[in-house]
Structure 1
Amino acid sequence: MNFNIRGAVIHNIHTMNPQELQELVVDSIRQGEEKLLPGLGVLFEVIWQNSSTEERNHMIETLHQSLVKQPG
């Protein structure tokens, strides 16, 4: 069975307003459930594809600095 996660996620959220999108992200992270990770990945992909080089560099630097602080 082949399921298009990207298409399903985008279909389910494409009409959300900014506040609803923020609530979705915050709730998904707060719940910490593994099954929500693919959806968050799709959201990150959309952000990445629609970001400038400067914005991408900032995201990567933020990610890197955050990971360096993590134990393990």
Structure 2
Amino acid sequence: MDLNLRKAIQNNVAGHNEEQLEATITEAIQSGEEKMLPGLGVLFEMYWQQASEDEKEGILNKLEEEVGKL
């Protein structure tokens, strides 16, 4: 059996509008379930691949800030 989790997640959110995507992200975070993390990772990957260098730098700065709080 060939399971491509990344493709399955992409197919699951294909065609979602902004509200649906926000609901998906919010639900994944609020549930705290480990099984939701791959979906968030795929969404982040999709964003990252299309982000400008300025957007990437902003994300990295924010992540560094948040990681520093741990």
Bucket of the pairwise TM-score, normalised by the shorter protein: over 0.9
Q: CA deviation at 1:15?
A: 1.1
| Higher relative contact order (Cα pairs below 8 Å, separated by 6+ residues) | 1
Who is 1:34 aligned against? 34
Secondary structure in 2 matching 1:16: coil
Who is 1:51 aligned against? 51
Structure 1: how far apart are the matches of 2:38 and 2:30? 15
Who is 2:9 aligned against? 9
Number of aligned positions between the proteins: 70
Cα RMSD over matched residues?
Answer: 0.8
List gaps (5 residues or longer) in structure 2: none
Q: CA deviation at 1:51?
A: 0.3
Secondary structure in 2 matching 1:3: coil
Secondary structure in 1 matching 2:47: helix
TM, length-normalised to structure 2: 0.95
* Higher mean C-alpha displacement, 1-10 vs 25-34: 1-10
TM, length-normalised to structure 1: 0.92
Structure 2: how far apart are the matches of 1:2 and 1:41? 20
Deviations 1:10-38, CA, capped at 9 Å, x for gaps: 10101110000001001100001001101
